[in-house]
Amino acid sequence: MPSLISKIQTLISANMHGLVDRALESNSVKVMDEYIRQVERNLEALEDSAATVGGTVRTLKRKYEEFAAAAEKLDRDIDTLILKGKDDLAAAAQAELNTKQTLAQEYYEQWQSQEGQYKKMLDMRLKLEGRLTNIKQEREKIRALLELAETKKVMVKTVKGLDGLAKTGDIEIDSLTEQIRARLDREDARLEVATRNISEEIDEAVGVSAVDLQLDERKRRLGMDK
């Protein structure tokens, strides 16, 4: 898993300008095709892993809810046993309650941890899909640009006297290249905004929720929940 996440992060942060420059320098979109193949392979692997983690999240949530419900019932039963003077049974039930509360807390913590990872993987999938869509679009523009450059080269060789046509071709090529690079700048800016500290935000949200749960439980036991 860490290896896959590392590969995904590398693909997301890949320098799109570098891919465009290398394609232009080599007069070929092969470097872009290789990036696309890598993204598609890793995107499929990420989706499989995310599905596995998502299933684990649901299992842990269900287990937590089962143990939490059982603990809540036991808590009520202990009060009933004490009121009936059955202290021995109440003591046994209390021991069982302690075990179920511990297990419920463990399942809760695992659930929250895995859910944070699951959300992070879904976020990475969206970003990688965005990168894939973007590079495919730019690949077609680069391919057209290279074809235009090749056509111009042939025309210049064939009609050497048409200096105006040759100059126009250069301006058009430069303009298209600049448009492509401007779009990549906007894409990089959007990606930077989207990736700001998502893991820290998840950790913070999980931490606050756990503390709130603990405080609510204490208030309930102290009769302060009204």
pLDDT digits (tens, 9 = 90+) for 120-140: 999 999 989 988 998 898 888
Res. 66 pLDDT band, cuts 50 70 90: very high
Instruction: Report the mean per-residue pLDDT for the chain.
Output: 78
Summarised one tens digit per residue, pLDDT across range 151-198 is 666 554 554 443 444 444 556 656 666 766 676 666 666 656 555 544
- Burial category of 124 from C-beta neighbours within 10 Å (exposed 0-12, middle 13-18, buried 19 and up): buried
pLDDT for the residue 198: 47
In the 3-class helix/strand/coil scheme, how is the chain assigned residue by residue? CHHHHHHHHHHHCCCHHHHHHHHHHHCCCHHHHHHHHHHHHHHHHHHHHHHHHHHHHHHHHHHHHHHHHHHHHHHHHHHHHHHCCCHHHHHHHHHHHHHHHHHHHHHHHHHHHHHHHHHHHHHHHHHHHHHHHHHHHHHHHHHHHHHHHHHHHHHHHHCCCCHHHHHHHHHHHHHHHHHHHHHHHHHHHHHHHHCCCHHHHHHHHHHHHHHHHHHHHHHHHCCCCC
Domain ranges of the chain: 2-195, 196-226
pLDDT for the residue 183: 64
Summarised one tens digit per residue, pLDDT across range 18-27 is 888 888 888 8
Least confident of 20-34, 50-64, 122-136, 192-206: 192-206
Give the pTM. 0.61
Whether 16 has a pLDDT exceeding 70, the answer reads yes
Res. 53 pLDDT band, cuts 50 70 90: very high
d(CA 107, CA 63): 7
Tokens of 19: 């891919």
Res. 1 pLDDT band, cuts 50 70 90: low
Q: What percent of the chain has pLDDT over 70?
A: 65
